[in-house]
Structure 1
Amino acid sequence: MTVTRRRARAALSGLCVFAGAVIMLVALIATPGDWLHGYVSEAGAAGQPYAGVYRTGLLVLAAGIGVLGGVVSPMSRLAARLLLAAALLAGASGAVTCSAGCPLPPYERSTLTDLAHATASVVGMIVLAAAMAAVAWTVRDHVQRRMAAAALAPTVPLGAVLGVTMLVAGRGVLSAAVERVVLVVAVSWLIGAATVVAAAQPTPGMVSRRGTRDRAGRL
């Protein structure tokens, strides 16, 4: 992939992630009820007036993650694979809708679709956090490494808090607040990682941290 094409794909990735996040946010705010309470996925639950809009936004965001996976492949194959896996899981989360309120055990009775949706969402975030770690550990670019580390630092403890809260207290204000912070961090990192690549000026012989050299000005 040429440098110019890679930069164009990075720009496309950032635009998809940004557009998808905005579409989801609009659907979340427009959905009746307090948009700061409950799980974000409730905006896309069956029967909600803007469920289709929310799911469309999630699929657009998933596409952006997938494109970013291809963009970072020359820098880190591990990170690329993790991003592609996260994209597939995000797409599955958008394709499989939960029922009203997105009920989850142990405090609410859940359907198989509820569990499938929740599993795709939770595992997707875990895989995305692993992609952050892979970028922070394997990519040579200092800006990318620092951004990934900065995003990973709050994601891991907040993700743990969210998981414990869901199991101990169930759906509520605390889990809603923590989930939204984690999502903001994730979206910010995705857009930031794409922007750095899109704005980068090509340099001869760019090298990954593992020592892969671009001898022909290609990445």
Structure 2
Amino acid sequence: MSPARRAPSLRLPAVVRSSMLWVAALLGATGLALIWVARIAAARFLYVSELGATGEPTAEVFRWGLVLVAVAAMLVALAAPQLHPRVRWLAVVPPAAVLAGSAIAFGIASQVTCTVGCPLPVGSAFTWQDLIHTSCAVLGFAGAAFVMLQVAADRSFRALARFSLVSAIAVAVIAGVGGLLSLFRIGTQVGGVLELVATTIALLWLVGLAAFLAVSVGRGVAVFPRQVQPSQAATPPRMAATYSE
């Protein structure tokens, strides 16, 4: 059996995978709703991470929202069928591995939140708490964006690929502008809104990804690595006779 056809280390029946993906979609949607609840409850304009800053009234709600998002991403990483990006550099790392890494990063960021104001961890404002949170949040978001591109270049699910491409472009543009405003501390109100919009699109993509794959797995459309049956592996190929009697 060639390495390309080995079964995945996590062997799960299709019904289990489909159920895990539906749960992931539900948890992702709930996490997004909690983040919006925190944002609506905030008394002033805040960047997304500031909703969970130490001492903020919205910290607990935001923390749970981010935890649910992390769990949802991990479930998708564990239950998703095999994806095949057509671009070579996008296929270097399996999408499931990248998404699992993002899930871990978001999980850490949910527990190690930033300090009040979420200052950049440089100069006199440096704290290990802000450094850990900022690093994990950036890595998690970057990983999710990379998976969007991987899915956008997938060979198996064209509708999902188009949805991911549109989402990736929208997130890149909106988050890029919001990030620049945050970096230079100008137009912070607009920057906070843009960051929330980018986060919303990214989480809606995660929910859509989980739901789409859940339907595909349930219908038997999803492709998993082929497995060689024991009977086939044990049966030697027929050999033609080398001589006649």
Same fold (TM over 0.5): yes
Report the counterpart of residue 174 of structure 1 in structure 2: 190
User: Equivalent residue for 2:25?
Assistant: 14
> 1:73·1:79 contact (CA, 8 Å) conserved in 2?
no
Aligned equivalent of 1:202: 219
Change (3 A) 1:168 1:68: same
Match of 1:111 in 2: 127
Report the residue type matching 1:194 in the other structure: A
CA–CA separation in structure 1 for the residues paired with 2:163 and 2:189: 29
Answer yes or no: is the 8 Å Cα contact 1:65–1:86 preserved in 2.
Answer: yes
Question: 2:113 & 2:101 partners in 1: Cα distance?
Answer: 19
Scaled by the length of structure 1, the TM-score of the pair is 0.84
* Residues 121 and 128, structure 2, Cα contact 8 Å, conserved in 1: no
1:177-204 deviations in Å (ceiling 9; x for gaps): 2201110110110111111122234237
How far apart are 1:158 and its partner, in Å?
A: 2.4
Secondary structure at 2:69's aligned position in 1?
helix
Instruction: After TM superposition, list the pairs within 5 Å mapping 1:1-219 onto structure 2.
Output: 1-31=12-42, 33-34=43-44, 37-75=45-83, 78-104=94-120, 109-169=125-185, 172-200=188-216, 201-203=218-220, 206-207=222-223, 212-213=225-226
Aligned length: 209
Kindly name which structure, 1 or 2, has the bigger radius of gyration based on alpha carbons.
Answer: 2
1:168/1:72 CA distance change after superposition, 3 Å: same
Amino acid across the alignment from 2:31: G
Counterpart Cα distance in 1 of 2:172 and 2:58? 31
Does the aligned pair in 2 maintain the 1:38–1:171 contact within 8 Å?
A: no
Cα 1:134–1:22 change in 2 (3 A) is same
- Structure 1 residues 207 and 60 mapped into 2: Cα distance closer, same or farther (>3 Å)? closer
Calculate the aligned-residue CA RMSD, in Å. 2.5
Specify the SS of the correspondent of 1:138.
coil
Q: Give the 3 Å change call, closer, same or farther, for CA 19–162 of structure 1 in structure 2.
A: same
Conserved in 1, the CA contact under 8 Å of 2:179 and 2:195?
Answer: no
Distance 1:68 1:39, change over 3 A: same
- Please give the secondary structure, in 2, of the residue aligned with 1:19: helix
Q: Is the 8 A contact 1:43 1:51 kept in 2?
A: yes
Structure 1 regions of 5+ residues with no counterpart?
A: none
Distance 1:30 1:5, change over 3 A: same
Q: What TM-score, normalized to structure 2?
A: 0.76
Decide which moves more: 118-127 or 162-171. 162-171
Alpha-carbon distance between aligned partners in 1 of 2:22 and 2:140, rounded to the nearest angstrom: 23
Task: Report the CA distance shift for 1:157/1:202 in structure 2 as closer, same or farther (over 3 A).
Answer: same
Q: 1:195 to 1:156 in 2, by over 3 A?
A: same
Please tell me the residue identity of whatever aligns with 2:213: V
Structure 2 CA distance for partners of 1:170 and 1:65, relative to 1, 3 Å = farther
1:72–1:79 Cα contact (<8 Å) kept: no
Residues 181 and 75 of structure 1, relative CA distance in 2, 3 Å threshold:
same
Output one character per residue of 1:101-135: Cα deviation in whole Å (capped at 9) or x when no partner: 21226798342211221121122111100011111
| Preserved contact between residue 207 and residue 214 of structure 1 (Cα < 8 Å) | no
Structure 2: where are the runs of 5+ without partners?
Answer: 1-11, 85-92, 230-245
47-56 vs 162-171, greater mean Cα deviation? 162-171
